Amino acid sequence: MANYGIIGFGCAGYYGARTIRENDPDGNITVFSEHSYAPYNPMLTTYYVAGKIPFEGMFPFGSLEKISDGLKLNLITGKKVAKVDAQAKTVVMEDGEKHTFDKLLIATGASAFAPKFEGLAPQEAFYMRTLDDAIKLKNALDTGSYKSALVVGASMVGIKVVELLNNKGIKTTLADMAPRIFPLAAYENVAKEIERRIAEKGVNLALGSALQSVEKTDCGYKCNMSDGTVVNADLIVLCIGTRTNVSIADPAQIKINRGIIVDDNMATSAEGVYAAGDVSEGGELQSKDKMIIGLWANAAHQGITAGANMAGATASFDGNFMHNITHFMDMDFIGFGDNRLKGQVVTSGHIDKGLYVEAVIGENGLVGVNILDNYRISGTVKNYLYRIIEGGSAKLSPIQKGILIKEGLRPSFIEKMEGKADVK
Ligand SMILES: Cc1cc2nc3c(=O)[nH]c(=O)nc-3n(C[C@H](O)[C@H](O)[C@H](O)COP(=O)(O)OP(=O)(O)OC[C@H]3O[C@@H](n4cnc5c(N)ncnc54)[C@H](O)[C@@H]3O)c2cc1C
């Protein structure tokens, strides 16, 4: 009987376990999880903190007991894995306990990363990565004692935190060393418009300005910014970035860059060891490079692919491209493709009202799109970009065109979007 190990029970770990069980009804599956929660969806944590969903709403697959019974898992929870020995095929726990495996999935995700700031102990700041981070922030906000906040990191996570703080009447500043919001997803015009709308809602923007040091005052913190300005806040939330949880793997045994390098089968360089989700660097379709793509659907596909191959079936996943679909502060922002890719810029609609689309057309066709205020066209546009990247048909079907026109895109824009950039 095969002996499977899965380290980390988030999205990738759950889908990995489920797929192994689908393909091997009798195998022994041991799941190692550092906490005792059921797999949860991190993107729902801000809704929980905002009071929009109950605690149970964050667990898309049900309780740990139900999952464990349904998939016949051996669960080892509330304990951290310290080390993987890929040659000896053992998982070593922090207390020294050892477990052997035939096939192993590393699905340990990523952790919030924040540099040290002079004057601010790490535990004084708040983060938004794990369920425990969400509980800590919710408990703090439920006291009703916070009046002003500094959120560092103008990312999709940062904006969700800003939204919930602003809705609670907390005077909030959003800071980022990047000169504009969503630096990895938005085009400049779109970023400026989003910033205008956020400012209109009463949020103070400190872009192009990094937090440098903190001094305690009678009523909170004096936050010294790199441009010489000062932000006074009694709550500091750091949404600066993430680091993959790779320290359990030995780079002499398993190839690691920023994440664990995987092939299209989610196999690592070590025989019998697989990786999936935010901890892994798999295919990025536009650059054709290995990249960490920190998205829920990506972690799910990778977990399914890894689980199938571990259990003797064949599955492959050649990767994904950068995409974000986010609703916040009464607007929808959708960004598809690498926003650093250059080309001919075409637009449809007025940026300050209704549907606005900005597309960048490269030599081989569409390379990226920003959409403001219409998530209904996102599926069609994403699918179209995917086909272009895969080298397939570069034409929209009549039904797809109909959807885009019905939602307000001009036919002349659609024609340009289907074209290629003029190369002189
Ligand atoms: C606030 C927030 C908002 C987000 N919004 C979106 C969104 O809108 N759309 C989208 O697509 N994606 C979003 N994401 C990203 C998405 O949630 C992740 O890409 C996805 O959850 C990754 O799943 P994973 O299984 O790889 O990692 P995780 O869900 O992080 O699971 C990894 C698990 O491994 C455990 N673990 C780590 N180390 C060890 C160890 N040594 N021993 C035992 N266990 C260990 C961790 O405790 C964790 O439970 C968001 C993320 C956050 C934090």
Q: What pLDDT, in 10s, does the model give residues 367-423?
A: 999 999 999 999 999 999 999 998 866 789 999 999 999 999 999 999 999 887 665
Which atom belonging to ligand 1 lies closest to the Cα atom of 303? Answer: 25
The answer to the question of residue 335 being in a domain is no
- Would you call 287 helix, strand, or coil by DSSP? coil
On whether both 67 and 15 belong to a single domain, the answer is yes
* Centroid of ligand 1 to alpha carbon of 400 (angstroms): 33
Do 134 and 227 share a domain, yes or no?
yes
Facing residues of 219 across strands? none
Query: Does 102 reside within a domain?
Result: yes
The verdict on residue 315 lying in a domain is no
Do 105 and 249 share a domain, yes or no?
Answer: yes
Q: Is the separation of the CB atoms in 253 and 238 below 8 Å?
A: no
- Asked if 155 and 43 touch (Cβ cutoff 8 Å), the reply is no
Residues 72 and 153 in one domain: no
pLDDT at 42: 97
How many A from CA of 42 to the centre of ligand 1?
A: 6
Beta bridge partners of 282: 291
Q: For residue 412, what pLDDT is reported?
A: 92
Ligand 1 atom at shortest distance from the alpha carbon of 239: 1
Report yes or no on 397 lying in a domain. yes
Answer yes or no: do 53 and 83 share one domain. yes
| Boundary-marking domain end, from 241, 275, 296 | 241
Strands 103-106 and 3-7: parallel
Same domain, yes or no: 234 and 261: no
Burial class (CB in 10 A: 0-12, 13-18, 19+), 296: middle
Tens digit of pLDDT for each residue in 140-162? Answer: 999 999 999 999 999 999 999 99
Indicate whether 377 and 296 sit together in one domain.
no
Q: Count up the domains in the chain and report the number.
A: 3
Centre of ligand 1 to C-alpha 70, Å, is 22
Q: Domain check: are 184 and 35 in the same one? A: no
Distance 299 CA to ligand 1 centre (A): 9
Name the stretches of the chain with pLDDT < 70: 392-393, 421-424
What is the distance in A from the centroid of ligand 1 to the CA of 43?
A: 9
Domain boundary (223, 241, 259) is at 241
pTM value? 0.95
Q: Domain residues for 209? A: 114-241
32: in domain: yes
- For residue 176 and ligand 1, the question of a CB distance below 6 A is answered with no
Of all atoms in ligand 1, which is nearest to the CA of residue 13? 25
306 and 361 housed in the same domain = no
Res 392: pLDDT = 66
Tell whether 232 is covered by a domain. yes
Residue 188 lies in a domain: yes
Do 141 and 219 share a domain, yes or no? Answer: yes
- Any ligand 1 atom below 6 A from CB of 282: no
Let me know whether 72 and 148 are in one domain. no
Regarding the beta carbon of 16 and ligand 1, being less than 6 Å apart is answered no
Of 225, 241, 257, the domain-final residue = 241
Question: For the chain, what is the radius of gyration of the CA atoms?
Answer: 23
Residue 201 domain flag: yes
One DSSP character per residue, 36-77 reads: -SPP--GGGHHHHHTTSS-GGGG-TT--HHHHHHHHTEEEEE
Claim to verify: residue 94 and residue 159 sit in the same structural domain: no
